[in-house]
Amino acid sequence: MKNFTEELGITGHLTIIKRERSGEEEILLDDSNIIVSGMGTGLSYLFTASGSDQILDYQIQKFQLGVSGPPAGGVVSSINQLSGALSSVAEYGTGTNNQIFVGEQLVGAGVVPNSVFAEIPTSKMTRINDSSVRYTLVVDEETANDLQRSGNDAAINEIGMFMKNPTGNAQDRPILVCYRTFSDIVKTNDFSLIFRWTINF
């Protein structure tokens, strides 16, 4: 049986580019992503007028990086959080150009407090045509470098984008709407990563 987002025909595609300080670029991934059940949940709030009355709250406007993908149960549409999301402003990097948001995350029927997100500026959202939007997520040279888990080096290997605040909570309460794992990337200040994520509605 198709889920709600499949019935609506929502799909996504992600390209990951490694950009050296010299400007040289390498494509690390160019493939489809998973539209997860949170997209259907968020849109159901919109279509039934049971959530926020602000249309911008339904915008995909935040992202997370993680170091524990793929999930133990495999990559399926029911995923509602990253396996090992970066958990502090320090992990994203105090010198990062990304604006960081710390708050609650919608996960299933509950919330996870003190979740950390990077904001997607409106300047990095591009309408491709009537039914496609491209999000350019820039993980600059100063972001997510030299990550550690349990005293060991940790590699970035998962990413997710989030709808801003579909329930209309007083403070943004994002929900995961699309997700992708990829091969380990040990991030250093020698390069930036560019995630070009296109969602087709």
- Look at residue 5 in the predicted model and tell me its pLDDT: 54
Asked if residue 122 is part of any domain, the answer here is yes
Count the alpha carbons within 13 Å of 140 in the hemisphere toward its beta carbon.
9
Flag whether pLDDT at 178 surpasses 70: yes
Q: How high does pLDDT run on average in the chain?
A: 93
- Look at residue 1 in the predicted model and tell me its pLDDT: 38
Asked if residue 5 is part of any domain, the answer here is no
Which of 69, 38, 78, 67 is CA-nearest to residue 164?
38
Asked if residue 13 is part of any domain, the answer here is no
* C-alpha distances in Å from residue 42, one per residue of 36, 39, 55, 111, 151: 11, 5, 11, 14, 37
Asked if residue 9 is part of any domain, the answer here is no
- Look at residue 8 in the predicted model and tell me its pLDDT: 66
- Mean pLDDT of all residues in 4-12: 73
Four-residue CA torsion sign, 124, 129, 133, 134: negative
Domain tally for the chain? 1
The proportion of the chain whose per-residue pLDDT surpasses 70, expressed as a percent, equals 96
- Least-confidence region, from 5-9, 99-103, 132-136, 149-153: 5-9
Residues 72-100: pLDDT tens digits? Answer: 777 889 999 999 999 999 999 989 999 99
Asked if residue 87 is part of any domain, the answer here is yes
Name beta bridge partners: 30.
Answer: 15
Flag whether pLDDT at 108 surpasses 90: no
Asked if residue 114 is part of any domain, the answer here is yes
Q: What is the DSSP string of the chain?
A: ---HHHHHT-EEEEEEEEEETTS-EEEEEEEE-EEPHHHHHHHHHHHTT-S-S-GGGGSEEEEEEESSPSPTT-S-TT--S-SSB--SHHHH-TT-SS-EEEEEEEETTEEEEEEEEEE--GGGEEEEETTEEEEEEEE-TTSS-S-EETTEE--EEEEEEEES-TT--SS---EEEEEEEEEEE---TTEEEEEEEEEE-
Asked if residue 178 is part of any domain, the answer here is yes
Domain of residue 94, residue span: 35-197
Asked if residue 14 is part of any domain, the answer here is no
